[in-house]
Structure 1
């Protein structure tokens, strides 16, 4: 079984625990598998891609409830929302592996690394939810990350620009703010969540760096200026507007330039 064919199979799995386990297993085997010259054939039923469980109920982004982390229920909703992002991030990484032809082997290895780390994040958050009497699927969620994945399915340059280095990079900005609120709460479960978010933030810097690397690699291959072309792609695909404050230290670690950080402050 070739790596990209197997990545598509894992992407189609609906059960969250099976998907997380299979992503980790595939990452462990990936160095021994051939890549596949041609993209695998996706399932004829479009609703099977990506595989997802019956729950959580998916709502529009504006319809998903937000609760204060000051209450146990509010903290559960918050952790559930982050777990849903991490579950979607497994799908995004697997999609980057199976969908796009003609990339170096290191590209596929990078995105399998991301898939495995996102699976670990999801498991950490799900275990935390369970320790508080809840589980993944107990609260509604939204599907914003996958929507951009669909919009960029025919353009790998746009995918690298607008998923890892735009949507996922928002986590670099949001996570420290969430951690500060949880530290203020100060309960054992809130502080345990802060520790999990430390792991996620550390790994996500690397994930965004991978997106930055391959975005610039593709820009060089296509002969376009990465900083100018990014603004073009944001408009073309109607990417969400990013709002300050920005975690400039983390973004610099992830490979954003001073010019790019200034541009973010001006949009």
Structure 2
């Protein structure tokens, strides 16, 4: 049965387990929303956990095998697989943001996070295709089971979700992806490097969406952005926000040092 409202459509995509089908369903939700075929109605709750395929095997972070730095062919395959898994989980993180907080935050918020979800679906598809070209596939290796923790931890508060997911997790991608691109380039794998360049470009926009909506929330609440961001990250992020930072990419995303620290 075809969904007629945006919450039902998002929930349906999140409960699609097979990776290629999830990517296709996510793109369809974005197209239908953009075309005005989905009503701004939120009559269904988002699932606590999205559907997951039988493969890859999901392990706790501390049980993941070391994959090296991507210098060998095997190491590069492991790195591509890890990146594909990050993008796969990111599809559901973006869908959940749109479906969980969209009613309170409005249609523009839904549009932005469905844009992000569709981008993540495209990124996953590019990486999964690259793995197949190299003789592997998504699911061939175990994957990190801690990526959905950020969604669980911030399910109660849109500001917390924005502070942790785009403004910490995706921002970290801005910091580390250029080095990964250099490694693939040095190994002669220019096709993989170009995929990562595309992902980096899109992720700058994703972080900008997060920053923009976070600042809007701060303004509505009468909160200082640096103070609220630090408070929410300390409360809800199980890790450290530490350098090195990709300052140019962060500034392009609106996530400047001044904004995050309050120091001009």
Residue 138 (structure 2) aligned to one of 136, 160, 182: 136
- Aligned counterpart, 1:211: 210
**How does 1:79-98 map onto structure 2 within 5 Å?**
79-98=80-99
**How does 1:185-196 map onto structure 2 within 5 Å?**
185-186=187-188, 190-196=189-195
**How does 1:1-267 map onto structure 2 within 5 Å?**
1-31=4-34, 32=36, 33-36=38-41, 38-42=42-46, 49-65=49-65, 66-100=67-101, 101-186=103-188, 190-260=189-259
Task: Provide structure 1 residue ranges, at least 5 long, that are not aligned to the other structure.
Answer: none
- The question of whether the paired residues in 2 share the 8 Å contact of 1:39 and 1:99 is answered with no
C-alpha distance 261-5 of structure 1, shift in aligned 2 (>3 A): same
Q: Distance in 2 between matches of 1:238 and 1:249?
A: 24
Residues 22-77 of structure 1 show CA distances to partners (whole Å, capped at 9, x for unaligned) of 111111111212111x451345xx5xx21110111111223222223222211110
C-alpha distance 39-230 of structure 1, shift in aligned 2 (>3 A): farther
TM-score by length of 2: 0.92
TM-score by length of 1: 0.91
Task: Provide structure 2 residue ranges, at least 5 long, that are not aligned to the other structure.
Answer: none
Displacement after TM superposition at 1:158 (Å): 0.2
Displacement after TM superposition at 1:145 (Å): 2.5
Displacement after TM superposition at 1:263 (Å): 7.8
- The question of whether the paired residues in 2 share the 8 Å contact of 1:145 and 1:167 is answered with no
Q: Which moved more, 1:141-150 or 1:156-165?
A: 141-150
SS in 1 for 2:55: coil
Q: Which moved more, 1:233-242 or 1:137-146?
A: 233-242
C-alpha distance 149-169 of structure 1, shift in aligned 2 (>3 A): same
Displacement after TM superposition at 1:5 (Å): 1.6
Q: Distance in 2 between matches of 1:244 and 1:13?
A: 37
